[in-house]
Amino acid sequence: MKLAFSTLGVPALPVPDVVRLAATHGYHGVELRAHPEEPVHPGLGPAERAEVVAAFEAGGVEIMGLAGYARVAAPGDDGPVVAEIRELLDLARDLSAPFVRVFPGASAEQSSEEADATAARRLGTAAEYAADLGVRILLETHDSHRTGADATRILGLVGHHHVGALWDVMHTWLGGEEPPSTYAALCTYLGYVQVKDIASAEDTTPLPLGAGVLPLAECVELLSREGWDGWLCWEYEKRWYEAAAPLPDLLSPGRDHLARLLNESA
């Protein structure tokens, strides 16, 4: 498995500095948060996109995915949501990023059937465009669809290889789903896995990997046993928790912790 971290942990850090952190601390790739307050987002022009690609190539680091914020199950017209996904896909194509992350984002007023159908319809519409660009759209286990079982209700309706799943280990755990059940639900769809750690279900402030309660060892052992060989991406949510310790100081210990888990499960 290859290791990456998300720029959610280093808010608004310039691209060359992100690349330097990854290379210095032994990470193979980076998940770029694709939001207007970050250096990389769909509003970048062709020259700026080329500069991002050049910086990563010079550092020998991969752009493993773009973390977008389209909410595919949210109420409202399909047009704006599909357009947002297409913009993310165009950016991913230009940056040679294989994945684009989207959220479910259903509202409490929607029935599960309505939310699932809305998300599947939009993802199905975007799927052919994604296929043409060689990028996969990944639905994260998050918010209204936080377990693998929730996500597969949508993915099963879509039925397209270029629409898959992103397993966020915190949300499936918070949803009461055990890792073997999550993997069984998502294995045919899985694009990559987001790892993190927290103190408890009541306190989700990010902690160094291995310092909290999330079943990271079980997840890594399970993935290794099943022969899965994709990306493990550390999503340290510093952007939402200003009091959390700075990520750069934690990157080497975090890499070492994941490496130990991988070695133990080999």
pLDDT exceeds 80 at position 21: yes
Query: 112: which 2 tokens?
Result: 């599960």
pLDDT exceeds 90 at position 266: no
Per-residue pLDDT band at 264 (split at 50, 70, 90):
confident
Question: Among all chains, which residue has been given the structure tokens 């684009």?
Answer: 100
Give the integer Cα–Cα distance in Å for 87 and 175.
31
Our count of domains for the chain comes to 1
- What is the separation of C-alpha 73 from the centre of its chain, rounded to a whole number of angstroms? 17
Number of helices (H) and strands (E) in the chain: give both, helices first. Answer: 9, 8
Give the integer Cα–Cα distance in Å for 118 and 50.
35
State the average pLDDT for the chain.
Answer: 97
pLDDT exceeds 70 at position 98: yes
What's the CATH number where 211 sits?
Answer: 3.20.20.150
Q: Mean of the pLDDT values across residues 2-21?
A: 97
| DSSP structural state of residue 206 | -
Q: Mean of the pLDDT values across residues 81-103?
A: 98
Give the integer Cα–Cα distance in Å for 58 and 119.
38
Domain housing 142:
2-265
Q: What is the pLDDT of residue 265?
A: 78
Query: What is the value of pTM for the model shown?
Result: 0.97
Per-residue pLDDT reduced to its tens digit, 183-232: 999 999 999 999 999 999 999 999 999 999 999 999 999 999 999 999 99
Classify strands 2-6 and 231-234 as parallel, antiparallel or unpaired: parallel
Per-residue pLDDT reduced to its tens digit, 135-145: 999 999 999 99
